[in-house]
Chain A
């Protein structure tokens, strides 16, 4: 960029200036990269190393996971919970995203705050809110009993249903924001063209809008599914004794069992699943799009 203003500079000087420029920018990157290298990448390698090291190199921890039915149950339950949460989030999120993407921009800006505010609120606060709502003497049960819909309070908390409601609540904004960002890019003229060619509203939606929103569906679904796999706070607080997910197992092994090698092996499995998921996600869209309008 130095060379832009001066046409008289000879080629070798320009190359040298360019190289100096590149060095200067790499210097600016260095602090951030060193920080991440020391406090993120290196600790991750530490986990990888620990997972195969227990008084010598061994795959014992991985073998233990594959051979023990309890651990396989935890992994299966994690996948099942993630799938259910993702499906519900898609069914609830699609209509809302559709409305956000098609109403007048001014109204959309107001409505999107209702999505973004919970999105930015601490996960533990959002989980607590649902514990207050779903508890045995919680707000929902108070109303159900008062309205005579049930005689005794229903068990809504500390079970699988509670976990699904809580996780769906926490992850729904990711789905809505991903879908809406794709839907905003769909040209309304295409839907109008379908109408003018005689398509009914439903046909125009199903044959034109829905296929065009497919990248959003794929991206949102994948994102919510991957995030669900690593969830800890909500299932730990809202689940029952048997609703154990992978991340909770990791925490227990670190804090209570002190089996760090085993915890690390679980961590590596979770990390591998997540990275595969995001590799696919990145082919579909960029994560930054979630933050459109925040900056």
Chain B
């Protein structure tokens, strides 16, 4: 329904659609090209690749340093996911259900890590952990990412809770369920898709993030993004195309899973 109903498609409309299509190509092409180029058999990144191969993936998964950084990234992201989801779920329940003063301020406070430039959060945590001699630890990086992921979790879970019919929980209570039983047997199963989706996005927030581990990582313990960064400072290595495609695949998986979860809730 571009333009109002009953209107002919004028040159103006065609112009707008053409620009919009070009912008969509601008958005999609770089990501698509990186994925295609990652399967190149050539020594240099030419597009289209003259022949296909898995050599860059072999180098990526075959190098112990790269493999180790996948493990580090997964560990940091998993811890972040658990921390952020637990903290965010509890806070969201209070924010949506509770009646107390200063709710707006608390909500703004929970979202504020999204507003502050990550470089500032990162150096703040760096100064903090240097004093504790705790840099280079998985836990320190996960704590930093928990700060960044918390707003995402709170936004998604509060939105889910707002769509939840409170009468279902009240019905359970009136039938004699305790508050904890009602929460566990009625509310949590019903909001589970939103909570899982929030957890996945918390994982992704950590998995994709560079600045916190850039300051907090040690020489031995490096996340995937930090290793990509260090490699790019030297040269545009084709192996990074394979690493990038791997990161893009993780993003697609999270996006796809959350879409499936949403469809399940709609039914």
Chain A residues, CB < 8 A from B20 = 95-96, 98-100
Question: In whole angstroms, how far apart are the Cα atoms of A274 and B117 in the complex?
Answer: 8
Given contacts A28-B94, A111-B24, whether A230 and B147 have CB atoms under 8 Å apart is no
A260 contacts the other chain (CB 8 A) = yes
Q: Report yes or no: B116 in contact with A274, Cβ–Cβ below 8 A.
A: yes
Kindly identify which residue among B90, B128, B159 contacts A28, using a CB–CB cutoff of 8 Å: B90
Question: A interface, by DSSP: helix, strand, loop or mixed?
Answer: helix
**Interface size class of chain B, counting residues whose CB lies under 8 Å from the partner chain:** 35 or more
Question: Residues of B contacting A274 with CB < 8 Å?
Answer: 115-117
Q: Is B248 positioned at the interface, with any CB of A under 8 Å from its CB?
A: yes
Taking residues whose C-beta sits less than 8 angstroms from the other chain, chain A's interface range is: 35 or more
Q: A117-B252, A132-B34, A133-B30 are in contact. Are A25 and B174 (CB under 8 A)?
A: no
Q: Return A233 CB to nearest CB of chain B, in Å.
A: 6
Residues of B within 8 A of A44 (CB): 116, 120-121, 124
B128 CB contact (under 8 Å) in A43, A93, A130, A169: A43
A31-B90, A129-B244 are contacts. A137–B123 as well, Cβ < 8 Å?
no
Q: Shortest distance in angstroms between A19's beta carbon and chain B's nearest beta carbon?
A: 10
In the complex, are the beta carbons of B247 and A122 less than 8 A apart? yes
Q: Which residues of the other chain, A, contact B91 by a CB distance below 8 angstroms?
A: 28-29, 31-33
B201 at the interface (CB under 8 A from A): yes
Which of B7, B123, B150, B201 lies in contact with A36, CB distance below 8 A?
B150
Residue picked from B27, B110, B114, B116, most chain A C-beta under 10 Å: B27
Q: A5-B173, A124-B210 are in contact. Are A139 and B46 (CB under 8 A)?
A: yes
Q: Which of A186-200 contact B (CB under 8 A)?
A: 188, 191-192, 195
Is the pair B117, A229 in contact by a Cβ cutoff of 8 Å? yes
Query: Contacts A39-B146, A43-B128, A131-B236; is A287 near B111 (CB within 8 Å)?
Result: yes
Q: Give the distance to chain A from B227, nearest Cβ to Cβ, in Å.
A: 10
Partner of B31, one of A26, A117, A254: A117
Least CB separation from B97: chain A residue: A25
Q: Which residue of B lies closest to A237 (CB)?
A: B232
Interface residues of B in 72-90 (CB under 8 A from A): 83, 86-88, 90
Chain B residues whose CB sits within 8 angstroms of the CB of A25 once the complex forms: 93-94, 97-98, 100
User: Which A-B residue pairs are the 3 nearest by beta carbons?
Assistant: A230-B117, A43-B124, A25-B98
14 cross-chain CB contacts under 8 A: A25-B97, A31-B87, A32-B88, A36-B109, A99-B2, A121-B208, A125-B34, A128-B34, A129-B30, A132-B37, A271-B117, A291-B159, A295-B159, A295-B197
